[in-house]
């Protein structure tokens, strides 16, 4: 059982370790820089910026270690870069295997198409769990070294709630990988959809069109609220998991009806 998930997961171990090391190094760099940010007059520095920019990126608390990490590491690294990368990577899974002929080999094995889809997608948990398990340890150790320890509960909850967010982003790319048989087109579409969603969520805050942000995965995962304010959006995490499940089930439905 789960041979496909195990095989694909093992293939992604090196990738997961690489992402975790890179994210840890990037985060450690901002922990080391944090003491130099405490002299910032944040209100004066960002007074001329639009409200959408300051609220959308949560930069109001950037003169603290949690605020600095929330903006520079998590808003950029997790919400944007990791989300886009996982969607891009997932978009090549089914479409790429079909184009290379590898899918023919997989389908010759005694595994149903519906199970194959679920196991392929579940292998993405390896890099997602790796980066969210290793990075907080490095961040907390660094914060202790500079004598400004992060709140453990907030840090743990941030990485726990990052899992459904990243799964949802990966599910967007995975769905395109099944519904669009061209690998390049699936990757471009997944990146485009998430970039547009990010812009909608970021630029429409405080406007009459703010409600459109409900379609963006970023609306349900706010690193600043978690790390700075200690506010945990459990409902948002549940919505992201439900959205990921719907996209995977839709992909499953589509794949069982494809002529391969």
Q: pLDDT, tens digit, for every residue of 135-187?
A: 999 999 999 999 999 999 999 999 999 999 999 999 999 999 999 988 999 99
Rounded distance, CA 79 to CA 165, Å? 8
Give the pLDDT band of residue 56 (cuts 50, 70, 90).
Answer: low
Residues 204-249: pLDDT tens digits? 777 778 888 899 999 999 999 999 889 999 999 999 999 999 999 9
Arithmetic mean of pLDDT, 73-81: 92
> What is the four-CA torsion angle of 183, 186, 191, 197, rounded to 10 degrees?
-170
CB 247 within 8 A of CB 175: yes
CB 236 within 8 A of CB 221: yes
Looking at residue 2, its pLDDT comes to 76
Looking at residue 191, its pLDDT comes to 95
**What is the total residue count of the chain?**
260
Arithmetic mean of pLDDT, 108-136: 91
Arithmetic mean of pLDDT, 107-134: 90
Residue 196 CA neighbour count, 13 Å, CB half: 9
* Closest C-alpha to 4, from 114, 166, 167: 114
Give the pLDDT band of residue 257 (cuts 50, 70, 90).
Answer: confident
Arithmetic mean of pLDDT, 29-51: 73
Residue 27 pLDDT > 90, yes or no?
A: yes
CB 241 within 8 A of CB 162: no
* Closest C-alpha to 132, from 174, 86, 177, 173: 86
Residue 20 pLDDT > 80, yes or no?
A: yes
Mean confidence (pLDDT) of the chain: 88
Looking at residue 59, its pLDDT comes to 65
Looking at residue 18, its pLDDT comes to 93
């Amino acid at each position: 059982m789960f041979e496909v998930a195990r095989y694909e997961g093992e293939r992604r171990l090196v990738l997961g370790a690489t992402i975790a090391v890179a994210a840890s190094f990037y985060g450690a760099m901002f922990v080391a820089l944090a003491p130099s940010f405490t002299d910032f007059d944040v209100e004066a520095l960002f007074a001329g910026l639009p409200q959408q920019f300051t609220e959308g990126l949560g930069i109001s608390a950037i003169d603290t270690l949690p605020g600095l990490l929330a903006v520079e590491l998590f808003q950029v690294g997790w919400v944007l870069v990791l989300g886009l990368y996982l969607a891009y990577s997932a978009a090549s899974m089914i479409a790429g295997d079909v184009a290379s002929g590898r899918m023919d080999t997989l389908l010759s094995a005694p595994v149903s198409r519906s199970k194959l889809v679920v196991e392929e997608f579940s292998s993405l948990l390896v890099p997602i769990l790796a980066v969210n398990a290793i990075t907080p340890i490095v961040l907390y150790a660094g914060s202790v070294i500079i004598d400004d320890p992060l709140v453990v509960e907030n840090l743990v909850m941030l990485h726990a709630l990052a899992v459904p967010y990243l799964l949802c982003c990966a599910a967007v790319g995975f769905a395109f990988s099944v519904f669009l048989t061209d690998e390049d087109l699936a990757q471009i579409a997944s990146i485009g959809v998430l970039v547009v969603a990010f812009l909608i969520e970021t630029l429409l805050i405080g406007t009459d069109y703010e409600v459109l942000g409900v379609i963006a995965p970023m609306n349900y995962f706010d690193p600043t609220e978690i790390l700075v304010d200690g506010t945990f959006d459990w409902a948002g995490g549940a919505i992201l998991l439900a959205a990921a499940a719907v996209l995977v089930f839709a992909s499953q439905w589509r794949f069982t009806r494809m002529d391969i």
